[in-house]
Amino acid sequence: MPFEKRVALAGSHRDSISGAKSTRPADKNELVQATVVLRRRAQSQLPPVEEFAFTDTGTVNHQTREEFGLIHGAAASDLATIEAFAHEFDLTVTERSPARRTVVLSGTAENMQRAFGTSLAHYESPSGAYRGRTGPIQIPTELEPLVTAVLGLDNRRVAKPHLRTARVASPGGALTALQVASAYSFPTGVNGAGQTIGIIELGGGYRSTDLNTYFKGLHLKTPAVSAVSVDGGNNKPGADPDSDGEVMLDIEVAGAVAPGARIVVYFAPNTDQGFHDAITTAVHDTVNKPSVISISWGGPEDSWTLQARNAMLAAVTDAAAVGVTITIAAGDDGATDGMSDNKLHVDLPACLPPVLGCGGTKLTVANGAIQTETVWNEMASQEGATGGGVSKFFALPSYQNSAGVPVQPETKFAGRGVPDVAGDADPVTGYLVRVDGKNTTIGGTSAAAPLWAGLIALLNQQLGRSLGFINPLLYQIGSGAFHDITTGNNGYYQAAKQWDACTGWGTPNGIALVNAITGKAAKTARPVT
């Protein structure tokens, strides 16, 4: 019989969550779903990600989604092998995507355990209940060259929304996204028309009535917003206020900045499987075709398995290849990223080299202009602080070679520096938004990611082409197109001139950024609303 010999799937080892206790084995008839992630087509040679970068001359090597899928997707023979494996163990293939290189399998816990050589159990932990496993996944030797990850057997929460609801009202009042965009001199004469902004959400939902009320208050037409279900995730407002706040903040900030853009929200479960599959679904979406994707969820890079980190990296590398910019919140818990060991951690997926990591500032505005701007750090009053630091796993990318990124202080690893850029994020001076029928003030690097996504949509429209993987160009441009933040810290790293591990290059100067990219005069700043 085939599939008899076994080998541990590289990078799949799992430990239980600290403090977790196994309460019972998984019921043998419990339905389990898993995503098998496959290698790129055997003859595929994906060039270095920098070759997909936008340049100041507009030279770029983007492929269409269809071309990329045909060249770099999964081979038909690999997909057939996985389907034969599924049949052997009485598993059902519920979805297969050559372009995304994924096969989604479902079946009973008993059959999943036999198929992947692992034991599943239910756990109670300080961070909630979950179905989990320990040790590595064991796969048949025939699958070893094909399979890069198996996600979803363990369904622990992998991320949290990077938002902060204000505990104390700002003396000067919160800002609308339009006021922030005006202070940052976002280009006018464009509204994001022709662009689609994808937003990844791992919970919560939106209500159209709230969106209509919010945008009416800004004297804007409500953008076209639609939802896509991934792995059973759905638009479900009302179950979790924090998740609803995240969803509404993302839509309202991006939609206010680029009201002419379509917004597509990809809802997925908060698991490594759901997060990965939401990104690949958005990146390879040939119907909606987002040109920019905003992500405001994440977790410490150390909390991910190696296979999951690699799968996430491959997913965002695909985005660079097809000309999609991904803006991601850097985290709201300072240099430790909220870990109880008080060591330094960066957040994933913001630490992945092909994405634009977005840190946070404390911004005050007077008469439509920036009055003061410092690193967001309100830890003393339990209002959070911007994430940032140096990766322990992802090496320093070539675009950061001259940025002065320090080695990771604890491991001395020359890692990817986070963030790349920043935006207003302090909840004390946060954004006016509407959530679950109420107006409220929310901050967090969750706001910086959709703010930058909206800006990218405006720039794409103005340029007439997709910026895509913009990081190398931003690092060539340097601080001249940014408001350089030189005061403050995030609990360990200190702000400084040029790039730093709190705010990257700083917050955007939209007009200077357009001039730097196009060499043409930009239009005047949007008036304060």
Question: Six-digit token pair at 466?
Answer: 């997709």
Q: Which of 446, 466, 484, 500 is catalytic?
A: 446
340 a catalytic residue = no
Q: Whose structure tokens read 């496993």? A: 133
Structure tokens at 287: 């119907």
Instruction: Specify whether the CB–CB gap between 130 and 268 falls below 8 A.
Output: no
Query: What are the φ/ψ torsions at residue 423 (nearest 5 degrees)?
Result: -160, 165
Helix (H, G, I), strand (E, B) or coil at 106: strand
Rounded CA separation 430/328 (Å): 18
Residue type, 106: S
Q: Are strands 121-124 and 92-97 parallel, antiparallel or unpaired?
A: unpaired
Dihedral through CA 107, CA 109, CA 114, CA 118, nearest 10?
130
Q: What share of the chain is helix, strand, coil (3-state, %, to 5)?
A: 30, 25, 45
Both tokens of 393, joined, read: 């796993």
- Using CA atoms, how far apart are residues 295 and 273, in angstroms rounded to an integer? 16
CA distance 444 to 63: 34
Q: Kindly report the backbone phi and psi dihedral angles of residue 267, in degrees, each rounded to the nearest multiple of 5, phi listed first.
A: -95, 130
Residue pointed to by tokens 């969550």: 17
Q: Which residue in 338, 273, 422 sits closest to 281, CA to CA? A: 273
Strand duo 507-508 + 482-483: pairing = antiparallel
**CB of 479 closer than 8 Å to CB of 472:** no
**Is 30 labeled as catalytic in the residue annotation?**
no
Q: Which residues of 242-279 are buried (b: 16+ CB within 10 A; e: fewer)?
A: bbbbbbbbbbbbbbbbbbbbbbbbbbbbbbbbbbbbbb
Joined tokens for residue 217: 């208050």
DSSP structure string for 260-311 = TSEEEEEE--SSHHHHHHHHHHHHT-TTT--SEEEE-EEEEGGGS-HHHHHH
Buried b (16+ CB within 10 A) or exposed e, 314-334: bbbbbbbbbbbbbbbbbbbbb
Backbone angles phi, psi at 43, to 5 degrees: -85, 0
Which residue do the tokens 């036999």 mark? 114
Of these residues, 250, 337, 420, 484, which one is catalytic?
250
Within 13 Å and on the Cβ side, how many CA atoms surround 358? 30
Give the active site residue among 78, 231, 244, 246.
Answer: 246
Residue 166, C-beta contacts closer than 8 angstroms, at least 6 positions apart: 174, 383, 427, 428, 430, 440, 441, 442, 443
250 is catalytic: yes
The catalytic site residues sit at 246, 250, 446
